[in-house]
Amino acid sequence: MQRFYPGRFDGKVALIMGVGRGSTKEAAVRMAAEGANMAVTDIVKEYADKAAEECRSYGRKALAFAADAADGKMTREIVEQANNELGKIDILVYAAIPIAIGEKRGALRPFHETGDEEWDREYAVTLRGFIYALKAVLPGMMGRNYGKIVFIATDAARQGSTGQAVDGAMKAAGIGLVKTLAREYARYKINVNVVSPGPHATPLVKEQLEAAGEFSSKIIQGMVGWVPFKRLGEPDEIGAVTCFMASDDASYMTGQTISVSGGLSMF
C-alpha cells in the first residue's frame, strides 16, 4: 500500500519522460500527492493523459505530452512549455523506452536474434533521448543551484541478464553517464542517480508473459524463483524508491545506482 508523505515535493516541478502505465506512472502520481506540479510524457498519448489526470486529482497542475523521446527538438519544446506554465523544472525522471519493433518490443531473446533496427532505436530513445533531456533541463538547474535527476535503468545493465542484450547494454551506458554527471554537477547541488528495477509486475511484463513465448516465460519464471521474496515486485514499490531518489531525503546521494529487485541482485 502506498504511504504518501504530504509536502515532500511542495513547490517543486517534475518532468517525467516515459511515464507509461507501471512504476513510473506510480512515481508521478506519488509526487503529485506529495505536492509537485507535473509534466509527463509518453509516446502513447493515452498513457500520458491518464497519468496527468491522476496527478490533477490531488489538486496539482499537470501537463501531458505525446512525445517521442528520441526527438530532441520536441524535448526542448516540452521543457520550454513546462518552464512557462508550471515553473522551472526541479526534477527530471527519465524512463523512456522504445516503442514496438516488429511484433515484440522488449521480448526476451538471445543476442543473435536481435536486429540492427532494434539496436538503433534502443540507442535513440534510451541513451540519446536521455542526453537531449539532460541538455534541456541542466542549464536551469545549474542557474538555481538545485536539481534532482533520476535515470531508470534495469539490473540487466548491472549484472547481465539472458535475453536482454539490447536493453541491458544501453541502460549500462546510461549508468556510466550518470556517474560522470554526478561528479561534474555536484558543485551546482544537482543530484544524479539511478533506480535499477529487477523483475516487477508492470503491464508490459504481464503482456510479455502472455505473448512473448516460451523463451521469455521461462526466463521470467526462473528469475522469480531466485528472488528471495519469491514474487515479482509491484509498480508502486519501484515508484516509491524513485520518489525517494528525487526528493531532498536523498540530498547526500549522488552517482548511485539503487537496485529494487527483492534481493535478486545484491551489490
**Residue 3, in any domain of the structure:** no
Long-range contacts of 43-52 (CB under 8 A, 24+ apart): 43/67, 43/68, 43/69, 43/96, 43/99, 44/99, 47/19, 47/20, 47/21, 48/19, 50/21, 50/25, 51/16, 51/19, 51/25
Give the CATH number for residue 63. Answer: 3.40.50.720
Asked, for residue 106, whether it belongs to a domain, the answer is yes
Residue 125 lies in a domain: yes
CA 211 to chain CA centroid, Å, is 24
Residue 128 belongs to domain spanning: 13-200+234-260
In a domain? residue 221: no
Count of the separate structural domains present in the chain: 1
Q: Is residue 229 part of a domain?
A: no
pLDDT digits (tens, 9 = 90+) for 119-162: 999 999 999 999 999 999 999 999 999 999 999 999 888 888 77
33 is a domain residue: yes
Residue 227, in any domain of the structure: no
Write the pLDDT tens digit of every residue in 24-82. Answer: 999 999 999 999 999 999 999 999 999 999 999 999 999 999 999 999 999 999 999 99
Summarised one tens digit per residue, pLDDT across range 219-248 is 666 667 778 888 888 899 999 999 999 999
Residue 224: inside a domain? no
